């Protein structure tokens, strides 16, 4: 194989893959200069970082700083994390209780993958799981040429070139694989999300290649609180998933080659690393994505209720206590909390002391309810249940 061309102009795409044995990652100054230069119309970047907060911050920087007429491909792999949509509710979408177990007592649940981070991205769409066995692809281009299927089809062609011809883009713009003679038949291997601005459009997705955690994904993305929450946010659509069975590096090289077949020679093709965190806009975005106000405080308005009501008449699971609870929250902060039971305040009076409390700052619902006026006996029953179902061990401030 020829040695890859290090120059910004005229790189030969098919001669460059993820692993650059003779190249080091570019500096922060080189990266910002190359990304923003008006002559660099076609750019390709691969990240060596596994930090999801950093990779999403780099992606956002590319969305904001690259020339309006340019087209960018960005490839990255993250450590285990759940990435959920800008307008989603983490209490609705994620089993936060399991994430706490993975972090604090992984052996008790047979987990060996390390802590699973919770990340709210800036684009819409549903919740997805990332780990070292899947690669994320991101394409940024002018809005005038944006098409939800164009770059998903690009990935399908890459998979086909690697011996996976039964992949296709379905009506939801997901990439699926058809398995003949399989009882399920069709499995989702890639989901996408999008962000459109006045000058730029973003399509990013993930492709399940060789995830060692495939059997755990469904459990992580199924919240025990789902039956009790009605939200104005976006609900995830669950589908059977499957690994494709391809190495990360081979997939990345094939995607780069297909990108080249569409756009021709690259003006920039480089590797980025943690060094780019020195870039002010990336550092600022990195801090924002990690903040609790972003992860939890951006949650759209929702109602939590242990009983059916007019706007949400669904039957609820049977509980071990008689107290009826209902609260409304906006941006993760309680607007109204009511409880009705044998020795609790009536729903008419409510527990006004809980108003303006941040759900994600509660360390013990039992203590919180008792302090707000609920009878100690009721609080002792209700509190631990709420702690469990709302994942307090994961969401509470860590010492």
Q: Which residues of 87-126 are buried (b: 16+ CB within 10 A; e: fewer)?
A: bbbbbbbbbbbbbbbbbeeeeeeebebeebbbbbbbbebb
Which percentage of the chain shows pLDDT scores above 90? 83
The CATH class that applies to domain 13-295 reads: alpha beta
Q: What does each C-alpha distance from 123 to 57, 141, 143, 183, 192 come to in angstroms?
A: 12, 15, 15, 34, 10
Max Cα–Cα distance, the chain, nearest Å: 78
Tokens of 271: 């590797």
The three-state DSSP-derived secondary structure of 35-88 is HHCCCCCEEEEEECCCCHHHHHHHHHHHHHHCCCCCEEEEEECCCCEEEECCCC
Question: Which tens digits make up the pLDDT trace of 349-378?
Answer: 457 889 999 999 999 999 999 999 898 999
- For the chain, the structural domain boundaries read 13-295, 302-395
Confidence band (pLDDT; 50, 70, 90) for 205?
Answer: very high
Contact between 159 and 247 (Cβ < 8 Å): no
Please give the pLDDT value at position 197: 94
Confidence of residue 345 (pLDDT cuts 50, 70, 90): low
Q: In this structure, are residues 307 and 102 in contact, taking their beta carbons and an 8 Å threshold?
A: no
Which 3 state secondary structure label does DSSP give 303?
Answer: strand
Is the model's pLDDT at 305 over the cut of 60? yes
Phi, psi angles (nearest 5°) of residue 327: -140, 155
Mean per-residue pLDDT of the chain: 91
Kindly report, residue by residue over 210-267, the tens digit of the pLDDT. Answer: 999 999 999 999 999 999 999 987 778 889 999 999 999 999 999 999 999 999 999 9
> Taking 80 as the threshold, does the pLDDT of residue 38 lie above it?
yes
Which of 94-98, 197-201, 375-379 is least confident?
375-379
pLDDT of residue 353: 85
Q: Is the per-residue pLDDT at 9 higher than 70?
A: no
């Amino acid at each position: 194989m020829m040695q890859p061309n290090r120059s910004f102009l005229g790189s030969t795409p098919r001669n460059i893959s993820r692993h650059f044995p003779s190249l080091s990652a570019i500096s922060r100054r080189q990266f910002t200069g190359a990304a923003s230069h008006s002559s660099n119309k076609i750019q390709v970047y691969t990240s060596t970082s596994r930090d999801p907060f950093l990779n999403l911050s780099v992606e956002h920087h590319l969305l904001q700083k690259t020339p309006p007429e340019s087209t960018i491909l960005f490839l990255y792999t993250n450590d285990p994390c759940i990435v959920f949509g800008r307008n989603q509710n983490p209490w609705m979408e994620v089993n936060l209780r399991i994430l706490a177990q993975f972090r604090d007592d992984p052996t008790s649940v047979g987990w060996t993958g390390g802590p699973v981070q919770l990340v709210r991205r800036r684009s819409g769409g549903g919740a997805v799981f990332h780990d070292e066995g899947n690669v994320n692809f991101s394409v940024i281009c002018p809005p005038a040429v944006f098409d939800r299927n164009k770059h998903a089809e690009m990935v399908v062609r890459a998979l086909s070139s690697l011996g996976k011809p039964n992949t296709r883009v379905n009506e939801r713009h997901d990439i699926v694989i058809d398995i003949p003679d399989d009882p399920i038949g069709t499995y989702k291997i890639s989901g996408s999300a999008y962000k459109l601005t006045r000058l730029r459009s973003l399509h990013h997705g993930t492709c399940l290649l060789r995830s060692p955690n495939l059997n755990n994904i469904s459990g992580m993305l199924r919240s025990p609180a789902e039956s009790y929450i009605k939200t104005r946010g976006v609900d995830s659509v669950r589908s059977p998933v499957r690994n494709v069975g391809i190495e990360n590096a081979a997939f990345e090289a094939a995607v780069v080659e297909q990108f080249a077949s569409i756009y021709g020679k690259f003006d920039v093709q480089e590797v980025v690393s943690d060094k780019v965190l020195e870039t002010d806009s990336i550092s600022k975005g990195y801090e924002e994505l990690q903040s609790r106000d972003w992860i939890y405080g951006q949650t759209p308005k929702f109602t939590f209720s242990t009983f059916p009501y007019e706007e949400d008449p669904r039957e609820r699971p049977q509980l071990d206590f008689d107290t009826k609870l209902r609260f409304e929250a906006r941006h993760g902060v309680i607007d109204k909390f009511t409880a009705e039971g044998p020795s609790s305040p009536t729903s008419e009076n409510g527990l006004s002391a809980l108003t303006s409390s941040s759900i994600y700052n509660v360390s013990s619902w039992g203590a919180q309810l008792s302090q707000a006026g609920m009878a100690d006996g009721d609080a002792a029953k209700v509190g631990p249940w709420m702690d469990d179902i709302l994942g307090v061990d994961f969401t509470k401030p860590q010492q």
